[in-house]
Structure 1
Amino acid sequence: MEVPIGFGSDLATKKVCKLKKALYGASVSLPKSTHEALSHPGWRQAMVDEMAALHSNGTWDLVVLPPGKSTVGCRWVYAIKVGPDGQVDRLKARLVAKGYTQVYGSDYGDTFSPVAKIASVRLLLSMAAMCSWPLYQLDIKNAFLHGDLAEEVYMEQPPGFVAQGESGLVCRLRRSLYGLKQSPRAWFSRFSSVVQEFGMLRSTTDHLVFYHHNSLEQCIYLVVYVDDIVITGSDHDGIQKLKQHLFTHFQTKDLGKLKYFLGIEIAQSSSGVVLSQRKYALDILEETGMLDCKPVDTPMDPNVNLVPGQGEPLGDPGRYRRLVGKLNYLTITRPDISFPVSVVSQFLQSPCNSHWDAVIRILRYIKSTPGQGVLYENRGHTQVVGYTDADWAGSPTDRRSTSGYLFLLEVI
């Protein structure tokens, strides 16, 4: 869901709504083919906008395919962006390369690209709360298109947009494109270079975290997750200069104060920073038909010991795995369900009815506390304190112990 752009008056808003209604129609559905998309004014405009962005970025040159070289295909992917009011905000079309046809050693080499650790994100948020630092968010538009390609990659011309009189030519890619195997790596390399040009240093423990300390002992911290950027720190002038540096190199949207990041709702006040995943939790309940379930006070029944092969095997184990995966992501702001989720995660290979009942119990608990989250308080000087514990041969099948740990920033 995208943040709507604010307009100066109700009249301007009404004009924009009328324009959208005329362009999109009363109802919009995803097109099933390029021909269908081109016949709809809204989707056609979205495709034209995407092509304009690709050309302005210098993504490719039209050339004759050299002998012995092959091309990768491409296709259009469509998405309907809905605003907070539930109405269509805009239509988006993205040109995606068919990376699954690439050949290793010819079309691509290394593909590894790091991803920010959620622990790093939480640490920065807790530091911002502790020091009363402002939290800012930026979004890089068409991030993957900014990466430079080291390999020689040729792609077919986009469906529906073959250059007139040049149907025999192909696209020699100069920049990375969504769908290519090396695109994430190329984008990270480019972004890392630009940020380090500003004077930021890269963390040795998390390569997606950058920092800078000036002579006045003021600091800037930046964490990036693909195209979403969070910036915080005490060097307010430096933060503004860093933003301008990014605006110069990338088409960047300043989203203002941090409110929503990776599905996490974030609210900052003088008391600290609150993290929650209320919308995500309610979405899980809705998808599973549990919005109207009877809530319970605890996420797990202490009198039930789960073991492998307990009950009838589930007819659709994939559903169990998907749901447990979503619950695992919810533990980012819900440490109260971390242990129950870790228990039901032990039976992903062959889940049974009893294991499914345990998952349902977690959902019933979430129903009673959908908005519960984590509060990082502004409590002055703190220190890192850790706790650890383990049961004693708690597993009923192999008598292995289960250990756990917790690290906090506590007041000195």
Structure 2
Amino acid sequence: MGDPSLGCKDLNGELNEDVYITQPEGFENKGTSLNVIKQFKDDMSRRFEMSDLGKLTYYLGIEVTQGADGIQIKLGGYAQGILVKTKMESCNYTHVPMHTSLKISKAVEEPGIDATSYQSTIGCLRYLLHLRPDLAFLDTTEYGLFFKRSGTMEITGYSDSSHNIDVDDGRSTTGFMFYLGTSPITLTSCKQPTVAFSSCEAEYMAATEAEKQTIWLMVEIMNK
């Protein structure tokens, strides 16, 4: 069976490419995942010129450290590269980036900016946030995520909301995070689609979105 990967997107634009993998002739499942992986690599190396580089250590800026207790992934070099790109590598650190109750509104008239440079910087920050949910900590470019080999498949989720946080349209913000065992696996922080008339309503909207994610995770993870 072909398994197409369609509509991929990178930071520089759209990338549409079909990738098909077919089961090699004579492939047999030996009963363990390690045996399956070894046989797959042996079959592929007989058909194609390839090298086995061992365990994954680096991929698309992601630094991977694999140990007996788990796997750590981070974007330390990538984060430092953003600081260099934006000429902020020599800036002084701050413990609190902005006031916690600060509310920002759209400026009616402002001088023009370099839209390409702005979009590129925002794209870099969005990619960075895949592996570090919070940018507000002091001097933590080497921080990342750690996935512990705990063996548990228990899913735990948390949800919250900020009522009427946007002064321009009055919409609130939904946030939720899910863990598989002790490892964070998904995080969302986004504006709610409609205006909530109370903090209670905003909380219900956030809980509803979190429940949708729970159902999807149960289907994708717990049933495999």
The residue number in structure 2 matching 1:244 is 42
Structure 2: gaps (5+ residues): 10-14, 183-224
The residue number in structure 2 matching 1:113 is 6
CA distance in 2, matches of 1:325, 1:369: 20
CA distance in 2, matches of 1:114, 1:317: 25
- Match for 2:160: what amino acid? D
Deviation at 1:320, TM superposition (A): 1.4
SS of residue matched to 1:315: coil
Q: Does 2:52 correspond to 1:193? A: no
Contact kept? 2:103, 2:165, Cα under 8 Å: no
What whole-Å deviation, never above 9, does each CA across 1:299-333 have from its counterpart, x for those lacking one? 55424222222672343132211101100000111
Contact kept? 1:334, 1:373, Cα under 8 Å: yes
Structure 2 counterpart of 1:383, from 134, 154, 162: 154
Deviation at 1:381, TM superposition (A): 2.1
Structure 1 counterpart of 2:102, from 288, 292, 304: 304
CA distance in 2, matches of 1:115, 1:273: 25
Instruction: Give TM-score scaled by structure 1 length.
Output: 0.38
Task: Give the 4+ runs in structure 1 shifted more than 3 A.
Answer: 194-199, 298-301
Evaluate the alpha carbon distance shift between residue 115 and residue 318 of structure 1 in structure 2; reply closer, same or farther with a 3 A threshold: closer
SS of residue matched to 1:319: helix
Which is greater in Rg? Answer: 1
The residue number in structure 1 matching 2:165 is 394
Instruction: Indicate the percent of aligned positions where both proteins have the same amino acid.
Output: 29
Structure 1 counterpart of 2:66, from 263, 268, 274: 268
Deviation at 1:271, TM superposition (A): 2.0
CA distance in 2, matches of 1:271, 1:298: 33
Deviation at 1:335, TM superposition (A): 0.7
SS of residue matched to 2:71: strand
Matches within 5 A, 1:84-123: 113-115=6-8
SS of residue matched to 2:51: strand
Matches within 5 A, 1:120-199: 184-185=17-18, 188-189=19-20, 192-194=21-23, 198=27
Evaluate the alpha carbon distance shift between residue 308 and residue 384 of structure 1 in structure 2; reply closer, same or farther with a 3 A threshold: same
- Match for 2:22: what amino acid? S
Deviation at 1:287, TM superposition (A): 1.3
Structure 1: gaps (5+ residues): 1-110, 117-180, 200-213, 219-234, 338-361
The residue number in structure 2 matching 1:372 is 143
Evaluate the alpha carbon distance shift between residue 257 and residue 396 of structure 1 in structure 2; reply closer, same or farther with a 3 A threshold: same
CA distance in 2, matches of 1:276, 1:286: 18
